């Protein structure tokens, strides 16, 4: 059994660069623990943690056990006899924090191809160090390693906040934050070869999945799932082009003969001043449809859609990879307006800014703002299918999203009225309004 001079805090070898680095990271981690807890107590939790009772309980258990584990590790570091403190830290880790982390890993946001296997590896390491701490309760190495591996999420929140503050990695901010926190913490417990071990594990897991899963799974697995309310950056790129059509309805032919850089400049200037954004979603969809329907036969063909996107400067490669033509056309060669409108509004509501005279101050007013933003056809009700699409885009499994909406569709009408939305779905609208604010999607009219 490994032994160490006690108490730990009196015998830290600050002359060792590796030990000093680990200690500095540990002290800074403690500071950020307070900041992250303050953030969570002042900001709505992501709906994926709250729509299912089991996930809600798991999250609460996860936070509580993590806090108690950290406090126990600190107690073991400063105690004359760290044994009982070390046992307590290991107990909270092995019986609560590690299992609750594994339970939540499948719903992680960001690029799952990297984050799911890497978080699984870090969580397994956390359990490994905690078990070894039970067997070696006076070990400084196992104590510090247990303490470090519990902080992967806290550091990811710190890096996410930094990247958000300085507008870095806008299209992959969540993944970049998790990646950076892992690259910081893994070497602190496994040494300089730690990141190689992590990368090898991720690559191995993805090779196995690539061999055993279908193409649709792989596309979802390698796509960024943002924490924010907005749709994916790839969709937004295409939808901005669609919205542009409403402004350049009489200039599509002219745009098609311009150089790509000139097309792009023209489109950007039109989008930034798009007065049509103030119309209803259906009216906007009609304007866009007419702009793309160049032969005016009230039908939209694949060829017309491709020509329009090429005129907007989107390459064949980009439109194949980002447009997802199947979502609109499926096996059809043409679509009517109603089909186009349903497709357009379903996606547009996740990317369009919202103009309001003033920011609502009351909870009811904020809920109404979100409700109106989601009510794409201005019907006064929310379609359950659209809400399910929204929740799934936030990272909820399909079955949990469907079960949550079924529970709150009290009259079984497949629609949600405002009163139901306001009273029973506060988790959704509170998170949504915070996302609107964070993303700058609410525009105060002059």
Residue ranges covered by each domain of the chain: 8-225, 233-348, 354-444
| CA-wise closest residue to 249 among 341, 312, 316, 324 | 312
Instruction: Specify the higher pLDDT residue, 329 or 252.
Output: 329
Q: Which of 391 and 429 is assigned the larger pLDDT? A: 429
Q: Is the pLDDT of residue 6 over 60?
A: yes
pLDDT confidence of residue 267? 47
Residue 250, exposed/middle/buried by CB under 10 A (0-12, 13-18, 19+)?
A: exposed
What pLDDT, on the 0 to 100 scale, is given for residue 89?
97
Domain range 354-444, its CATH number among 3.30.70.100, 1.10.490.10, 1.20.1530.20, 1.10.238.10: 1.10.238.10
CB 429 within 8 A of CB 421: yes
Q: Is the pLDDT of residue 407 over 50?
A: yes
- What is the C-alpha to C-alpha distance for residues 68 and 74, in angstroms, rounded to an integer? 10
Band of the pLDDT at 311, cuts 50, 70, 90? low
pLDDT at residue 2 tops 50: no
Instruction: Report pLDDT digits (tens) over 238-288.
Output: 555 555 554 444 444 555 555 544 544 454 444 434 444 445 556 667 767
pLDDT of residue 277: 41
Q: What is the mean pLDDT of residues 86-112?
A: 92
Q: Is the pLDDT of residue 142 over 60?
A: yes
pLDDT category of residue 71 using cuts at 50, 70 and 90: very high
Tell me the average pLDDT across 337-361.
Answer: 71
Q: What does the pLDDT read at residue 446?
A: 60
The more confident residue out of 17 and 354 is: 17
The pLDDT mean for the chain works out to 79
Task: Label residue 352 exposed, middle or buried (CB < 10 Å: 0-12, 13-18, 19+).
Answer: buried
Q: Look at residue 445 in the predicted model and tell me its pLDDT.
A: 65
**What integer pLDDT is reported at residue 261 of this predicted model?**
46
375 pLDDT higher than 70: yes
| pLDDT reading at 72 higher than 80 | yes
Domains 233-348 and 354-444 share a fold: yes
Burial of 412 (0-12, 13-18, 19+ CB in 10 A): exposed
For the chain, percent of residues with pLDDT exceeding 90 = 27
Across 38-47, average pLDDT: 75
Model confidence at 174, in pLDDT bands (50, 70, 90)? confident
Q: Which residues are CB-neighbours of 350 under 8 A, at least 6 positions away?
A: 229, 230, 231, 235, 390, 393
Tell which CATH classification among 3.90.1530, 3.30.70, 1.10.760, 1.10.238 matches the domain 233-348.
Answer: 1.10.238
Q: Is 5 a residue whose pLDDT tops 60?
A: yes
Question: In this model, does residue 231 exceed pLDDT 50?
Answer: no
Sign of CA dihedral 54, 55, 60, 63: positive
Higher pLDDT, 260 or 38: 38
Whether 137 shows a pLDDT value over 90: the answer reads yes
């Amino acid at each position: 059994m490994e032994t160490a001079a006690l108490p730990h805090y009196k015998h830290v070898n600050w002359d060792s660069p590796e030990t000093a680095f680990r200690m500095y990271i540990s002290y800074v981690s403690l500071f950020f623990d307070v900041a992250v807890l303050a953030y969570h107590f002042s900001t709505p939790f992501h709906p994926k943690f709250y729509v299912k009772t089991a996930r809600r309980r798991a999250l609460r258990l996860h936070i509580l056990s993590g806090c108690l584990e950290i406090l126990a590790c600190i107690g073991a570091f400063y105690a004359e006899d760290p044994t009982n403190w070390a046992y307590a830290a290991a107990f909270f880790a092995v019986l609560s924090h590690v299992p609750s982390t594994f339970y939540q890993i499948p719903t992680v946001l960001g690029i799952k191809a990297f984050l799911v296997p890497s978080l699984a590896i870090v969580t397994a390491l956390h359990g490994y160090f905690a078990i070894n701490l039970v067997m070696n309760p006076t070990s400084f190495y196992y104590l510090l390693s247990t303490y470090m591996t519990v902080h992967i999420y806290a550091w990811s929140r710190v890096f996410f906040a930094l990247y958000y503050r300085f507008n870095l990695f806008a299209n992959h901010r969540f993944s970049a934050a998790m990646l950076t926190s892992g690259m910081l913490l893994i070497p602190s417990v496994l040494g300089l070869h730690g990141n190689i071990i992590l990368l090898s594990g991720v690559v191995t897991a993805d090779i196995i999945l690539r061999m055993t899963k279908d193409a649709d799974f792989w596309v979802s697995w390698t796509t960024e799932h943002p924490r924010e309310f907005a749709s994916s950056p790839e969709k937004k790129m295409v939808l901005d082009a669609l919205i542009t059509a409403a402004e350049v309805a009489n200039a599509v032919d002219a745009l098609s003969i311009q150089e790509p850089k000139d097309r792009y400049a023209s489109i950007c200037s039109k989008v930034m001043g798009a007065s049509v954004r103030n119309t209803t979603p259906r009216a906007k969809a009609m304007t866009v449809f007419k702009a793309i329907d160049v032969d005016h036969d009230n039908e939209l063909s694949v060829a017309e859609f491709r020509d329009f996107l090429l005129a907007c400067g989107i390459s064949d490669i980009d439109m194949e990879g980002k447009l997802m033509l199947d979502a609109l056309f499926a096996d059809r060669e043409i679509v009517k307006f109603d089909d186009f409108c349903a497709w357009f509004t379903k996606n547009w509501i996740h990317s369009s800014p919202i103009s309001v005279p003033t920011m609502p101050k009351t909870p009811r007013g904020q809920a109404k703002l979100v409700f109106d933003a989601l009510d794409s056809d201005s019907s006064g009700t929310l379609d359950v299918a659209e809400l399910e699409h929204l929740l799934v885009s936030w990272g909820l499994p399909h079955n949990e999203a469907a079960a949550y909406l079924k529970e709150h569709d009290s009259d079984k009408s497949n629609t949600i009225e405002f009163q139901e939305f306001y009273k029973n779905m506060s988790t959704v609208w509170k998170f949504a309004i915070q996302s609107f604010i964070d993303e700058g999607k609410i525009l105060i009219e002059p």
